[in-house]
Every structure is written in structure tokens, then in C-alpha cells.
Amino acid sequence: MPRRPFVRLFFALLAALAANACVIAAPVVLVVGDSISAGYGLPAETGWATLLQQRLAAEHYPHRVVNASISGDTTAGGRARLDALLARNHPAVTVIELGGNDGLRGGSIDAMHANLDAMTVAAQKSGARVLIVGLRLPPNYGPAYVHRFDTTFGDVARGRKAALVPFLFEGFAEDNAMFQGDRIHPVIAAQARMLDNVWQELKPLLGEPGKSR
């Protein structure tokens, strides 16, 4: 009886198992954000998180990006769903890009601080390094509120020894051409700029190319 079909099947199965093992073994960069990281208003697969995956591959990092960003999410929403994301993905690095909707809705800065702090602690306890991504509010929210909002990201990062992107829109925040009509969500041309701002602080958390921490 011919054995070749069984041999081919055996090696195909081994290849599938090996490929699956590689996916499982790849360290994860988990992005927990809102519409800015979800790519609101953009064509699919053009947001900065997708560009991050491409840069990781180009620079020979083994990491894969899991983008768990949801448009409209707040720090409270992120805090509520983070434990499940950590348990499912076991990230090596967790990027927290939340707070913008808290501020735009005039929410409690104390609550925002507490949520970001709790998320940072949970991610660190799971074994992940944490990168907090800062945002800023327009001045019409009042100087006291704007100042407290702006400084919260750095306060949490310093308090928990987490990495920090001081301002995601650094270098283009005043350029209206870099934003959609709502003046909140960046256009495609701004995604690479955001990635550069994130990459500067993310890269030291990844370890050497070809290896994982």
C-alpha cells in the first residue's frame, strides 16, 4: 500500500504545528487605546498600530502587535477589560493610550489617574513592561483642568516607573492638515509621525532585535 500520502500528511502536520508554535511563542505588544489607536475614520490597516507591526518586522523584532483599541473607550473602560486582555495575550509590553475621552467629556481627573495607575500596576504584575501614551487638551477646557489632565500621564508613569510618551501628537499638533474634519482624529499622513513618537520610547522595552525580554 502506498505510504507517500501519509508521509506528506505527517510533514504537513509538523509544519502546521511548528508555525503555530512560532505564533504562540512570539512576544506580544498589547495596545489598549481608544479611537486614536483604533484608526477611526481611516482605511483599514493604515493606523499607527499596523505600522508598528511593519516596523517590528523590518527591524527584526519577533514581537506581534495585538491592537485592542476601541473607539470611544475611556480609562474606566480600559481598566474593566484589561485583566481579560492580559490573561489572553500575556504581553511582553502593554501600551496604554487612554484618557483622551475622559478629558474631552470633562471627566474626573482623579478617577482618570486612578484608572491609569490601576492598569499600569495590573500590567506590570502580569510581567509586562508598560508604556503610557500622553495626550493634551485644547485650552478651552480651562487652564487648571488642562494642566491636571496633561500632567496625569507623567505622574502615573513616574510613580510606577513606567515608560512615557509625553505627547502622542508631538511635532504636528498645530497642523490642521494632519487632522480629520473633527480636529481630533489624525489623518493617514500623521500615522507615521505618531509611530515615531511611540517608537522612541517603545524600542528600549523590546530588547535586542531577534530576541525578546
pLDDT at 25: 79
Beta strand spans in 118-202 (E): 129-133, 163-165
64, β-bridge pairs? 28
**Which residue in 35, 37, 69, 126 is the catalytic one?**
35
For residue 35, indicate whether it is catalytic: yes
pLDDT at 8: 57
For cell 505510504, the residue is 3
pLDDT at 1: 45
pLDDT digits (tens, 9 = 90+) for 99-152: 999 999 999 999 999 999 999 999 999 999 999 999 999 999 999 999 999 999
For residue 183, the domain's CATH number is 3.40.50.1110
pLDDT at 176: 96
What average pLDDT does range 89-98 have in this prediction?
98
- Out of 24-28, 53-57, 175-179, pick the least confident: 24-28
Structural domain contains residue 100: yes
Structural domain contains residue 170: yes
Q: What total number of domains does the chain contain?
A: 1
pLDDT digits (tens, 9 = 90+) for 189-209: 999 999 999 999 999 999 988
pLDDT at 213: 59
DSSP string computed for 2-68: --HHHHHHHHHHHHHHHHHHHHHHS-EEEEEE-HHHHTTTS-TT-SHHHHHHHHHHHTT---EEEE-
Structural domain contains residue 108: yes
Q: Could you give the percent of the chain with pLDDT greater than 90?
A: 85
For residue 71, indicate whether it is catalytic: no
How far apart (Å, rounded) are the C-alpha atoms in residues 47 and 187? 9
DSSP-based three-state secondary structure for 97? strand
CA dihedral 169, 172, 175, 177 (to 10 degrees): -80
pLDDT at 32: 98
Q: Compute the Cα dihedral for 166, 167, 168, 171 and give only its sign.
A: negative
- Of residues 9 and 168, the one with the higher pLDDT is 168
Residues 6+ apart with CB under 8 A from 122: 82, 83, 86
Structural domain contains residue 98: yes
Structural domain contains residue 172: yes
- Out of 18-32, 73-87, 149-163, 166-180, pick the least confident: 18-32
pLDDT digits (tens, 9 = 90+) for 9-54: 555 554 544 444 444 579 999 999 999 999 999 999 999 999 999 9
| Domain limits for position 50 | 27-205
**Which residue in 155, 185, 196, 212 is the catalytic one?**
185
Q: Report yes or no: 190 and 179 within 8 Å, Cβ to Cβ.
A: yes
Structural domain contains residue 11: no
For residue 182, indicate whether it is catalytic: yes
DSSP-based three-state secondary structure for 129? strand
How far apart (Å, rounded) are the C-alpha atoms in residues 51 and 211? 20
